[in-house]
Structure 1
Amino acid sequence: MHPRIKRSLKFSLTIAVITFVLAAFFSIVSSALLEQVAWYIGFIIVLLIVFTGIIFDMLGIASTAAKEAPFHAMASEKITGAREAVIIIKNADKFASFCNDVIGDISGIVSGSALTIVVLQVAFLISDGGSTTQITLSVLLTSFIAALTVGGKAIGKYFAIHSSTNIIIYTGKIIAFIEKNFKIRILPKTK
């Protein structure tokens, strides 16, 4: 088998396992949190999950839209995050896959299940669990969250394409801060 195909299959399998673990973790945590809080706090948590998906979708698009040259110039001037930005651009396919597919898709799925818990909480408050109220609330809130997600991702894509350099350098700075201060390796080592 060709080495590129092997690497691609290995990456795909790794990302599938990571997705499984992260999805399970975030689903358990969000469900546990939502069952312990009032519906309006739960709705804020759902919004945070949606905005996380939007931001990571924007990061993934920006990594594929950005050009490498400006980051080399910044790295030569020792600008914090520039080296990390170069690594992001060189690994744009993997970075975008992680941001868009792993975090973005998990956010969509978890926000949907989290919204179900919020809808049930509100429906029981309003009408002791009446099915008409539940259906109406479910349709309205699901439609709102879907519109927010799609509209947010559309705006995020616009900014990702037109401001990719700024987005990636700020992302590089955040990653550099995390790697330096928390000793957590996020990006692959450079050769």
Structure 2
Amino acid sequence: MNSAWRDTLRWAALIFVVTFFLSGFFNTSTILLDLADWWVGVLVVIAIVLVGIFFDIMGLAAAAARETPYHAMASERVHGAKQAILIVRNAEKFSNFCNDVIGDISGVLSGAATAVVVARIIESTDISGLFRQAIAILATALVAALTVSGKALGKAYAIRNANWIILQVGKFFYLMEQKFHIRLFAGNDKKKSRKRGGKRVVGKRQQPR
């Protein structure tokens, strides 16, 4: 097994663990909605949908951004430019985390939270029978429509402003490195130089006869 596959398997294993714990934590937090008023639950559902859209924008922007402009920014010591280069070079992993991990968790969580909110609304009113079922269907459909339409707008925005978005993300991770010494991606942020002839010859320079 080559190094590329080993790296992919390690990343998949890490994503499995992170997704498992994040999903368990956030799904457990929906239990607290039973103790809150229904309008609080509505705000929570909206927040979850917005988080999913936000991370979807970042994931797509990472895949669409170009690395070249950031090199000029890095030479001018623009904060976040080097971090943006690393994001673009690791766009597959970054997009996987933003779109699949956070995006999928947000989708599942918004559905679970919506069910809790609908139950709270029904409990606080005298609605029964078919109206109860209608409210549940309408609420689920509304959340799904908001999520899909929001992501459609977000994708268009991400493609058109990919470089600017990733630079802002890079600035955020620059602050994380400076304040908390947390680095997003380990490794060298410089391109490997090509060696002529495949090998580098070290020794004394031959004098002409």
TM-score bracket for this pair, using the shorter chain length = over 0.9
Residue of structure 2 in register with 1:18 after alignment: 18
Give ranges in structure 2 of 5+ residues lacking alignment: 189-209
Supply the AA of the counterpart residue of 1:145: V
Aligned pairs for 1:139-158 (under 5 A) are 139-158=137-156
Residue of structure 1 in register with 2:60 after alignment: 61
Residue of structure 2 in register with 1:184 after alignment: 182
1:71 and 1:85 in contact (8 A); partners too:
yes
In structure 2, C-alpha distance between the alignment counterparts of 1:6 and 1:69, rounded to whole Å: 29
Q: TM-score, normalised by structure 1?
A: 0.93
Supply the AA of the counterpart residue of 1:122: I
Q: Secondary structure at the match of 1:178?
A: helix
The structure with the largest helix share of the pair is: 1
In structure 1, C-alpha distance between the alignment counterparts of 2:151 and 2:114, rounded to whole Å: 19
Distance 1:6 1:131, change over 3 A: farther
How many pairs are equivalent?
A: 188
In structure 1, C-alpha distance between the alignment counterparts of 2:117 and 2:51, rounded to whole Å: 18
Supply the AA of the counterpart residue of 1:24: G
Q: Once superposed, what is the RMSD of the aligned Cα atoms?
A: 1.3
Give deviations 1:96-122, integer Å, cap 9, x for gaps: 000000000000001110111000000
Give 1:131 deviation, angstroms: 4.2
In structure 2, C-alpha distance between the alignment counterparts of 1:183 and 1:127, rounded to whole Å: 55
Give ranges in structure 1 of 5+ residues lacking alignment: none
Give 1:65 deviation, angstroms: 0.2
Q: TM-score, normalised by structure 2?
A: 0.86
Give 1:81 deviation, angstroms: 1.0
In structure 2, C-alpha distance between the alignment counterparts of 1:89 and 1:27, rounded to whole Å: 31
Q: Radius of gyration: which is bigger?
A: 2
In structure 2, C-alpha distance between the alignment counterparts of 1:35 and 1:180, rounded to whole Å: 40
1:120 and 1:134 in contact (8 A); partners too:
no
Q: Secondary structure at the match of 1:127?
A: coil
Distance 1:131 1:88, change over 3 A: farther
Q: Percent identity?
A: 41
